[in-house]
């Protein structure tokens, strides 16, 4: 049951983009031999990276693998905040910008490494005064402001485990995560700016906590932002202003020695596939791989200004706004607000304002920019950019090319990085000075990562054939378990291939003749039409390939004859007419690109697609709609009204 004989490919492979000689000449890593060196002895290779960190006590063993549990840098002790801040003070980086902050209203702040050190020390003292000690959990519910990084680093300074909850989550979601992690303290802010409005985070925190709904919470720390402090409800004895607590806290807090395998953070996944899982990461291995991938994937130099648009509430924000950049002593930009506020050129204006040189964003954002049109970019000088990145979903080749031409002006390599909350750091990505890219392919594993595309039995699939992505050897930043539920950890990730001990990522993939990896989306989303596996990703890319289409989500709905019928939800670009004629054109377009079997049976136009708060398309809800079922868990949706509106529209169209 393969699709290679019945469909063409929208995923190309015909267009190859090698890095320019100028890029290669200055690249951090340009010798392809690194792939062989790392593969020959991954442990020795990772140990070299680990040695780039400051250790308080050395490790005695690089990796201990008792499937499915791994330990890295066993016996070693270190402190994450000391690695991300203190050690830079001994170098010329002391006076370098660590964090450049751009608030949505246009307020701006720069924290040098020295400034960051002072703030982290003070806030570590605050947490200590509140009785937080090593191993305790702290929930951080903050907007994209420097205090989010400061609170995270302060936790690491005293060995507390943080659980960052995205500031856009509801009271119910926050409560569920607080209770699952049994946090002692919540750190939040009174408010934050989003599209010119004030988001009242403290009110949401109150709604989560009130009535004793979170029995483990002893204290709430509130940072003052966006709201007059006298207008904020403070519960006596429970709630404290951040700045008041700092007045009585010690100015210095020594970093504690933390075991390499002690907990660093818990992070609940975005929930594209159901109930959020508490992904548990530990210290030494995580920091090693976050640092390594940050430096090589993004080819980072001391002069770079790196901007990752992800919120700190997602793993991308953990690894590439906070830990990777700061461990590397880089300068990172944090932006608080929306990409279309006050206008649709905000990102481009921000790149121009700060001279951003490396820009890392998500396909969902790129598709919005495509929909809005290029006039917003043309107003700005983007010549400071030298490298672009993508993460979060497979990137449609059309979106890749648009990014390449309009943002990168054809001279920035694009790194399409595949990884997961569970993997902690990049797993598949081009090294931009070595690997020629193909639009839509994440290319090859990062050096030191051993993975494969396999069939249902766990045997490698031949080139060109669809299969399942598995990771064959433990890697430093892998999740150690699911918080409080090791059985679920074993079941979800390790049970599929039994004795073979393969980590099952849940994604489908294909490897081409050149060994390039093409991610095909979540296995749960893959359709089975008249006996043929068809990737939702490929049909979506064929739709987006049409000039009228901005975005598409494709699902398989149960069909008495074919098993599944292909149902497409399509958003058109601004100025395009979404009518019956276009439906015919699009069905034909997909038929020509991929073969008649891939022609959508239904196409429904919609202004928005249902997405998680991290911007990923939630196909399982579209399946519920198309099959007339009650909707599954919708708590992680960005905008629940999109789904209810679509449900009505779909029912009317039948």
State both tokens at 646. 């679509």
Alpha helices in 268-362 (DSSP H): 284-297, 315-317, 324-327, 346-354
Is 297 among the residues that bind ligand ATP (CB under 6 A)?
no
Member of 164, 333, 377, 442 binding ligand ATP (CB under 6 A): 442
Q: Compare residues 59 and 166 and give the one whose CB is closer to ligand ATP.
A: 166
Minimum Å gap between C-beta 482 and ligand ATP is 11
- The minimum distance between CB 593 and ligand ATP, in angstroms, equals 20
- Which stretch in 78-86, 265-273, 368-376, 640-648 sits in contact with ligand ATP by CB under 6 A? 265-273
* Minimum distance, C-beta of residue 360 to ligand ATP, in the bound complex (Å): 11
272 binds ligand ATP (CB under 6 A): yes
Ramachandran quadrant class, 304 (left: phi over 0; alpha: psi -120 to 50; beta: rest) = beta
Environment class of 573 (CB within 10 Å of its CB; exposed 0-12, middle 13-18, buried 19+): middle
Asked whether position 394 contacts ligand ATP by CB under 6 A, the answer is yes
Segment 100-159, which members bind ligand ATP (CB under 6 A)? none
- Six-digit token pair at 34? 């690194």
The answer to the question of whether 394 is labelled as a binding residue is yes
- Residue 60, C-beta contacts closer than 8 angstroms, at least 6 positions apart: 74, 75, 76
Residue whose CB is less far from ligand ATP, 391 or 527: 391
Which of 466, 507, 551, 624 binds ligand ATP (CB under 6 A)? It is 507
Does 439 bind ligand ATP (CB under 6 A)? Our answer is: no
Q: Does 467 bind ligand ATP (CB under 6 A)?
A: no
Part in contact with ligand ATP (CB under 6 A); list of ranges 67-75, 271-279, 455-463, 637-645: 271-279
Taking CB under 6 A as the rule, does residue 319 contact ligand ATP?
A: no
Burial letters 612-641, b for 16+ CB under 10 A, else e: bbbbbbbbbbbbbbbeeeeeeeeebbbeee
Q: Smallest gap, in angstroms, from Cβ of residue 316 to ligand ATP?
A: 7
Q: How many CB atoms lie within 10 A of CB 645?
A: 15
- Give SS3 for 344: coil
For ligand ATP, the closer of residues 88 and 611 by Cβ is: 611
Please tell me whether 230 is known to bind a ligand: no
392 touching ligand ATP, by CB under 6 A = yes
- Residues in 298-317 that interact with ligand ATP by CB under 6 A: 314-315
Min dist CB 234 to ligand ATP, Å, is 34
> Would you count residue 253 as binding ligand ATP (CB under 6 A)?
no
Q: Which residues, numbered 587-646, are part of the site for ligand ATP (CB under 6 A)?
A: 616
Q: How far is the CB of 173 from ligand ATP (least distance, A)?
A: 12
203 is in an annotated binding site: no
Rg of the chain's alpha carbons, rounded to an integer?
24
Query: Which helix H or strand E contains 388, and what residues bound it?
Result: strand 387-390
233 is in an annotated binding site: no
Instruction: List, in sequence order, every residue forming a beta bridge with 335; answer none if it has no partner.
Output: 102
CB 363 within 8 A of CB 344: no
CB of 10 to ligand ATP, least distance (A): 15
- The correct pick among 216, 384, 420, 635 for binding ligand ATP (CB under 6 A) is 420
Pairing of strands 69-74, 61-66: antiparallel
Query: Does 417 appear as a known binding residue?
Result: yes
Q: Which of 10, 192, 204, 421 binds ligand ATP (CB under 6 A)?
A: 421
Contact between 466 and ligand ATP per CB under 6 A? no
Q: Shortest approach of ligand ATP to residue 612 CB, angstroms? A: 6
Q: Which two tokens stand for residue 483?
A: 């918080």
* Annotated binding residue 196: yes
Contact call for residue 506 and ligand ATP (CB under 6 A): yes
Count interface residues toward ligand ATP (CB under 6 A).
24
Whole-number Cα distances in Å, 417 to 127, 442, 446, 509, 639: 35, 6, 10, 14, 27
Cis peptide before 68 (omega within 30 of 0): yes
Q: Does the footprint of ligand ATP cover residue 511 (CB under 6 A)?
A: no
Q: Contact with ligand ATP (CB under 6 A): which of 393, 398, 540, 551?
A: 393
Task: Say which residues have a Cβ less than 8 Å from residue 238's Cβ, sequence separation at least 6.
Answer: 209, 217, 218, 219, 220
- CA dist 463 and 511 (Å) reads 5
211 is in an annotated binding site: no
Kindly give the interhelix angle for 619-626 and 640-653, rounded to the nearest 10 degrees. 30
Does residue 416 interact with ligand ATP by CB under 6 A?
yes
Q: Is 445 in the site for ligand ATP (CB under 6 A)?
A: no
How many residues does the structure list for the chain?
A: 654
Q: Which residue of 519, 549, 578, 626 would you call a contact of ligand ATP, by CB under 6 A?
A: 519
DSSP string of 175-243, one letter each residue: HHHHHHHT-SEEEEES-EEETTEEE-HHHHHHHHHGGGTSTT--EEEEE--SS-GGGS---TTTEEEHH
Interhelix angle for 42-50 vs 284-297, to 10°? 90
Contacts of residue 640, Cβ cutoff 8 Å, sequence gap at least 6:
634
Q: Minimal distance in Å, beta carbon 478 to ligand ATP?
A: 13
Kindly write down the DSSP assignment for every residue of 274-297, as one continuous string: SS--EEEEESHHHHHHHHHHHHHH
Between CA 41 and CA 523 the distance in angstroms is 31
CA distance linking residue 204 with residue 325, whole number of Å: 30
**Is position 522 an interface residue for ligand ATP (rule: CB under 6 A)?**
yes
Nearest to 205 by CA among 180, 177, 230, 226: 177
Residue number with CB closer to ligand ATP (272 or 406): 272
Window of 185-193, 216-224, 270-278, 599-607 that interacts with ligand ATP by CB under 6 A? 270-278
CA distance 21 to 624: 50
Smallest separation (angstroms) from ligand ATP to the CB of 614: 6
CB nearer to ligand ATP: pick between 152 and 603: 152
415 binds ligand ATP (CB under 6 A): no
Q: Please indicate if the annotation marks 194 as binding a ligand.
A: yes
When the beta carbons of 541 and 564 are compared against ligand ATP, the nearer one is 541
Q: List binding-site positions for ATP.
A: 392-394, 416-421, 507, 522
Q: List binding-site positions.
A: 194-197, 316, 392-394, 416-421, 507, 522, 544, 546, 549
Using CB under 6 A as the criterion, which residues of the chain lie in contact with ligand ATP when the complex forms?
Answer: 269-273, 276, 314-315, 391-394, 416-418, 420-421, 442, 505-507, 519, 522, 616
Q: List binding-site positions for CoA.
A: 194-197, 316
Q: List binding-site positions for Mg(2+).
A: 544, 546, 549
């Amino acid at each position: 049951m393969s699709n290679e004989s019945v469909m063409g490919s929208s995923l190309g492979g015909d267009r190859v983009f090698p890095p320019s000689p100028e890029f290669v000449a200055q690249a951090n890593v340009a010798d392809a031999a690194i792939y062989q060196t790392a593969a020959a002895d991954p442990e020795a290779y990772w140990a070299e990276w680990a040695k780039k960190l400051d250790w308080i006590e050395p490790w005695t063993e690089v990796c201990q693998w008792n499937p499915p549990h791994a330990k890295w840098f066993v016996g070693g002790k270190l402190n994450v905040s000391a690695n991300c801040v203190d050690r830079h003070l001994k170098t010329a980086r002391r006076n370098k910008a660590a964090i450049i902050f751009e608030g949505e209203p246009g307020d701006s702040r720069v924290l040098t490494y020295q400034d960051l050190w002072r703030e982290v020390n003070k806030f570590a003292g605050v947490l200590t005064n509140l009785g937080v000690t090593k191993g305790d959990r702290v929930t951080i519910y903050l907007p994209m402001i420097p205090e989010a990084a400061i609170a995270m680093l302060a936790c690491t300074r005293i060995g507390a485990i943080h659980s960052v909850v995205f500031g856009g989550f509801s009271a119910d979601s926050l409560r569920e995560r607080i209770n699952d992690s049994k946090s002692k303290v919540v750190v939040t802010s009174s408010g934050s700016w989003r599209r010119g409005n004030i988001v009242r985070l403290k009110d949401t925190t109150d709604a989560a906590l009130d009535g004793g709904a979170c029995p483990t919470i002893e204290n709430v720390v509130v940072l003052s932002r966006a709201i007059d402090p006298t207008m904020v409800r403070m519960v006596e004895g429970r709630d404290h202003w951040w700045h008041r607590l700092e007045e009585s806290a010690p100015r210095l807090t020594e970093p504690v020695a933390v075991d390499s395998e002690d907990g660093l953070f818990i992070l609940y996944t975005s929930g594209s596939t159901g109930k959020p899982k508490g992904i548990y990461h530990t210290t030494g291995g995580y920091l090693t791989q976050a640092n390594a991938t940050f430096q090589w994937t993004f080819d980072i130099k001391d002069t770079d200004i790196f901007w990752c648009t992800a919120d700190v509430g997602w793993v991308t924000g953990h690894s590439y706004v906070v830990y990777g950049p700061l461990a590397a002593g880089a300068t990172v930009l944090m932006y608080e607000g929306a990409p279309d506020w006050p206008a649709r050129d905000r990102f481009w204006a921000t790149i121009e304002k700060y001279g951003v040189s490396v820009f890392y964003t998500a396909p969902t954002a790129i598709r919005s920019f495509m929909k809005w049109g290029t006039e917003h970019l043309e107003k700005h000088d983007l010549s400071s950019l030298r490298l672009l990145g993508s993460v979060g979903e497979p990137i449609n080749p059309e979106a890749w090319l648009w990014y390449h031409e309009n943002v990168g002006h054809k001279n920035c390599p694009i790194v399409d990085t595949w990884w997961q909350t569970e993997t902690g750091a990049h797993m598949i990505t081009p090294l931009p000075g070595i690997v020629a890219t193909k639009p839509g392919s994440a290319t090859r594993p990062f050096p030191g990562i051993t993975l494969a595309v396999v069939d249902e039995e766990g045997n490698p699939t031949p080139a060109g054939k669809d299969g399942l992505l598995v990771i064959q050897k433990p890697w430093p930043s892998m999740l150690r378990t699911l918080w409080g539920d090791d059985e679920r950890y074993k079941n979800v990730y390790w049970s599929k291939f039994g004795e073979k001990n393969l980590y099952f990522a849940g994604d489908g993939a294909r490897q081409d003749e050149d060994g390039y990896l093409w991610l095909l989306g979540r296995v749960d989303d893959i359709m089975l039409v008249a006996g043929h596996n068809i990737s939702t990703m490929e049909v979506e890319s064929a739709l987006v390939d049409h000039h009228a289409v901005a975005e598409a989500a494709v699902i398989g709905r149960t069909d008495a004859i074919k098993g599944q019928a292909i149902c497409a939800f399509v958003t058109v670009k601004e100025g395009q007419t979404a009518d019956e004629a276009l439906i015919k054109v699009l069905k034909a377009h997909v038929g020509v690109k991929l073969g008649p079997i891939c022609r959508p049976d239904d196409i429904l136009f919609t202004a928005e697609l249902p997405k998680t708060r991290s911007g990923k398309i939630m196909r399982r809800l579209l399946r519920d709609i198309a099959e007339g079922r009650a909707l599954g868990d919708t708590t992680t949706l960005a905008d629940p009204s999109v789904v209810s509106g679509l449900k009505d529209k779909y029912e009317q169209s039948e």
